Amino acid sequence: MTIDAIITAGGIPEIDDPLYEYTKGIPKALLPIAGKPMIQWVLDAVNQCEYIDRVVVIGLPEHAALNSTHETIFIEKSSDMLTNIQTAAKTLGATANEHQRAFILASDVPAITVEMLNWMYDASKDLSGDVFYSIIEKQTMENRYPTANRTFIQLEDCQVCGGDVSIFRLEVVNGERPIWKRLIDARKNPIKQARLIGLGILVPLVTKKLKLKTAERKISRRLRIVGHVLCCPYAEIGMDVDKPHQFEILRAELGGE
């Protein structure tokens, strides 16, 4: 079974964003690390993944001079992330069957490798479902990146942060789903997301009485999907560049500086 890939790359830091001193008005995805744009590190992993068929890049033009060995489609970004993902899914879905899946990757996780994509594919391929969401446990993240200062969600049985690589069935993002847009807009605020989903999630989360599998089940039911949480052993999947110190960590690691 092949899988497609959607890479979100349309973010341009505003002047009040801490990364603006690095980007100066260019897309974050094009920040250079060791002589190539940050998104190219992600594409290098995608290029090596034998399971991937087609690639959609959201928010960059074809003349961005990226190296992709797969059939690659460039689409313009719109006003919000959900619309971007829906547009990409419809573009891929024109020739896909109802079970066709796609990776969705952020362009700012340059430490990702093909081994990590293969792990996600293998972990999900025999599961029936609509969405497969990666998480990383606190110990895994802090052992690998002790100074990254990631935000963690405290559950009853673990502390986790979200990964920046997911897998979803193309059909599931089509249609009118207003709550999805609100959840994506609140993606940096777990408490706000829990409030949107409902008291059945919010109260146990705040009181630290929510178990991971219970959260998976309740969120799936609220969103009317079949969702699976994949506890990933690779911290790199959750090491995105939101702040200057995170960029410097990855630039030093990948560039040998």
pLDDT confidence tier of residue 188, bands split at 50, 70 and 90:
low
Where do the domains of the chain lie, and which CATH numbers do they carry? 3-255 (3.90.550.10)
Nearest of 107, 51, 127, 58 to residue 86 by alpha carbon: 58
The pLDDT tens digits for 114-163 are 999 999 999 999 999 888 999 899 999 999 999 999 988 888 888 888 89
Compute, in degrees rounded to 10, the torsion defined by CA atoms 162, 163, 164, 168: -90
Average pLDDT, the chain: 85
At position 238, the amino acid (one-letter code) is G
pLDDT value at 237 more than 90: yes
pLDDT at position 119 = 97
235 DSSP 8-state letter: G
Please count the residues of the chain: 257
The residues near 175 (Cβ < 8 Å, ≥ 6 apart) are: none
Question: Contact at 8 Å (CB) between 67 and 40?
Answer: yes
Task: Please give the full DSSP string across 105-165, using - where no structure is assigned.
Answer: EETT-TT--HHHHHHHHHHHTTS--SEEEEEEEHHHHHHH-TTS----EE-SS-EEEEEEE
Q: pLDDT > 70: what percent of the chain? A: 83
Nearest of 178, 36, 157 to residue 107 by alpha carbon: 36
Q: Rounded mean pLDDT of 229-255?
A: 94
What is the spatial distance between Cα 204 and Cα 199, in angstroms, rounded to a whole number? 8
pLDDT at position 172 = 80
- In degrees, rounded to 5, the angle at the alpha carbon of residue 222 between the alpha carbons of residues 184 and 219 is 65
151: left (phi over 0), alpha (psi -120 to 50) or beta: beta
pLDDT value at 187 more than 70: no
